[in-house]
Structures are given as C-alpha cells and as structure tokens.
Amino acid sequence: MYETAVVTDQLLSVGEKFADFTKAVTTKASIAQTPKELIWTLNKAKLYRYIPVLPKEERHPVPLLLVFALMNRPYILDLKPGHSFVEFMVKSGYDLYLLDWGAPGPEDKNLKFDDYALDYLPRAIRKLKVVSGSEEFSMLGWCIGAIITTIYAALRPDDGLRNLVLLTAPLDFSNKDAITFSRWVDERYFDVDKVLTAFGNMPGEMIDYGAKALKPVENYVGNYLKLWDNLDNPQVVDAWRAMNTWVTDNVPLAGGAFRQLVVDLYRNDRLMRGEWIIRGERIDLSRISAKLLTVIAEGDHITPPCQSAAIMSRVSSTDKELFRIPGGHIGIMAGSGAGKRTWPHIENWLAPRSD
C-alpha cells in the first residue's frame, strides 16, 4: 500500500515536471525590453536608437552602432533585463543604435552583400550621424554582421568610422578542414542554385538546422536535458526560455547574399584573397584604418577561431587588439558569463576611444 502511494506520488511529480517542461519549451519569453525609438526604416531594415539613461555630459560623444547577422534576430543583444549587452552599454554611457535587418520577403531574394554594405548600412549611418550630431561613430559587427561592417570599413574608410569591433567574424575561409560549413557547401555536394530556385531565399529553418547539426547532440538532446534537470531553478528556466525564444525565431537569408556566402566566401575565400568585388569595388582590407578590436570565441563551432584571426595582419589600423575568450559563438555575448568577461572588455576598450 505504502509503495503504491510512493509510486503514485512520483508519477504525479513527473507529470507536473513534464507540464512545466512543456510550458517552458512552448511559451515565448519577454525579450528586448530596453526602451528604444525607431529613427529610420528602409524596406525591412530598421534603425533603433536606445533611450539614453545618462545625461548628455556624462555620455561618450562617439555613438555606437550594433550590426547583427542577417539570419537571426538582433535581440540576442538585448535578451532580458539584467542580462542584456544593450542595457549594459546604455548604462555605461553610450549613445547606442541597433540596425535590425528584418526578415527578407520573396521580393528581396536578389539582395546581396553589395546592397547591405553599400546601400542600407551607409544610409542608416547617415541617419545615425544626423540624430547623434556626431560625424564619427563606432561600429560593432557580429558574425555575418561583422562581414558587412568589414566590407563597409574597407570600402568607405573615410566615412567617419573611428572604432570597429568584430565579434566572431567569419572572414578567412582558407582552412577548409576546420570549417564544417565549408565541407557541407562544397560544390560536389551542395547545389546552391537548385536550393535558391526552389526557395528564393534560404529558409530560416534550413539555416537553423545547419547551425544545430554542427553539434547535434548538444542542440537536440543536451539542451532539453539541461532544462529538465533545472526545472526547479526559476533563474535557469527564465534564461533557457529567453534563449529558446531567440533560437526558434528564425529569419531567412536573402538568396543573393546566401549565394555570395557560399560561392564567394566558403568556396573561394575571395575576401582574404583580395578578389571579392562589391559593386565594382575590390575589397582591400589594408584600407581599414579604424581602431580595431577582434573578439574570438575559443569554443566557437560556427565561426572557428581560425576564421577571425587573419584580419589582424591585413588591416592598416595601428591601434588593434585581438581578444580571445573561452565560450561559444553565442555564449560569449549572451551566456551567463558574458556580463563578467566579454561586455566589460568591449566597454573598457571602447570607452577611451569614444571620447
């Protein structure tokens, strides 16, 4: 009789746990809550300015523009109150702007890096200069956003870019053995034109599958076990839900940009070879003269460290730093240790260069 009661209790407890688990997996967390205003839009792209919390005289005069990747939502930078890079930088006195590329529709299937780097970004920067009243600015590019900011910095070196921060920047595609994506999109196995003929843009779900398949056990099993094991810890559950909300919010990648990513970069490494031509202009990395901070995640499986280091010797910037940090592609900026390691380092580097 006693044993039956114990078994019943345990079953009930597992049932409750399962309900909590399902709720955490299927509900969205409240994210991106730092107050901001929309100051510019073009097509799907939006430029936001975060409302400053410090008076003007206590803020850095050089504004900072955040440029995130094309195939994910940028609110990973503003995940949740108390754990947000955006919130941290606003409180540190930065006039902070965020460029959200939005989700491309069928009409955007021909958009290329040319358009993002030499049309959308310069237009957004023009608006930033007008609103901030500063002719100089800093820019932080993360992942594909780092490719776009690098193109811009190389092709428009006299446009007022004072500081350039590159986070997990996939720029060097020469070491094919170390880059799993290079293997997957090899022309012997992957027909990029067939995919784009079928879909127009590269579907977000396929990009998500590709990113998760790099570490299938961690992403498809370990991630959910971590939640199950910590269901009685509200902090862990909240953080997990916020991250899951972001991970499952996929954005397609414009077909033209995807083709360039595969053909020009992953297959032919045209950027580092100095052979990449954007709107008739050859990208010469030695034309980058802005102060440069490159952040490498040592455990990055999406952008292995070998992809980001080579730019340091190619630029003509005299003030440059390569910062290596333990962690993964997203973890270094959104993980539990980000607020103690990565964010303060970026802030400490930027602060004296933003006055």
Partner 1 sequence: MREKQAANGKEFDSTDAFREMRDTYLDAWAKSMVDTVNTDAYAKASGMMLNNYLSASSPFREAVEKVMLQALQQFSMPSRADVVSIAERTVNIEVRLDDMDAKLDRIEKSLASSRPASRARSAARPAVRPAATKSRKKGAK
As annotated, the active-site residues are 143, 300, 329
The dihedral region occupied by 292, where left means phi > 0, alpha psi between -120 and 50, and beta the remainder, is beta
In the bound state with partner 1, the residue whose beta carbon lies nearer, of 125 and 283, is: 125
Asked if residue 191 binds partner 1 (CB under 8 A), the reply is: yes
Q: Which stretch binds partner 1 (CB under 8 A): 25-33, 142-150, 155-163, 192-200?
A: 192-200
Q: Where are the alpha helices (DSSP H) in the chain?
A: 2-26, 85-91, 113-115, 121-132, 144-155, 180-184, 192-199, 204-213, 216-217, 223-229, 234-247, 255-260, 311-314, 331-334, 342-350
Q: What is the CA radius of gyration of the chain?
A: 21
- Binding residues for partner 1, total number by CB under 8 A: 33
Asked if residue 195 binds partner 1 (CB under 8 A), the reply is: yes
Query: Do residues 118 and 155 touch, judged by C-beta distance below 8 A?
Result: yes
**Binding characters for partner 1, 143-182, by CB under 8 A (x = yes):** -------------------------------------x--
Alpha-carbon gap, residue 195 to 153, rounded angstroms: 31
Asked if residue 229 binds partner 1 (CB under 8 A), the reply is: yes
Tell me the two tokens of residue 126. Answer: 């023009």
Residue from the set 9, 16, 37, 107 that interacts with partner 1 by CB under 8 A: 107
Residue from the set 225, 282, 319, 324 that interacts with partner 1 by CB under 8 A: 225
Asked if residue 221 binds partner 1 (CB under 8 A), the reply is: yes
Closest CA to 140 of 131, 126, 153: 153
Query: Do residues 88 and 339 touch, judged by C-beta distance below 8 A?
Result: yes
CB of 301 to partner 1, least distance (A): 7
CB of 22 to partner 1, least distance (A): 20
In the bound state with partner 1, the residue whose beta carbon lies nearer, of 11 and 42, is: 42
Tell me the two tokens of residue 164. Answer: 């350039």
Asked if residue 14 binds partner 1 (CB under 8 A), the reply is: no
Asked if residue 106 binds partner 1 (CB under 8 A), the reply is: yes
Q: How far is CA 142 from the centre of its chain?
A: 4
Closest CA to 350 of 64, 59, 68: 64
Helix (H, G, I), strand (E, B) or coil at 337: coil
In the bound state with partner 1, the residue whose beta carbon lies nearer, of 2 and 313, is: 2
Q: Which stretch binds partner 1 (CB under 8 A): 49-57, 154-162, 219-227, 343-351?
A: 219-227
Q: What are phi and psi of 248, to 5 degrees?
A: -90, 0
**Binding characters for partner 1, 76-105, by CB under 8 A (x = yes):** -----------------------------x
Provide the binding-site residues for partner 1, judged by CB under 8 A.
Answer: 40-43, 105-107, 123, 126-127, 130, 180, 183-184, 186, 188-191, 194-195, 198, 213-218, 221-222, 225, 229, 301
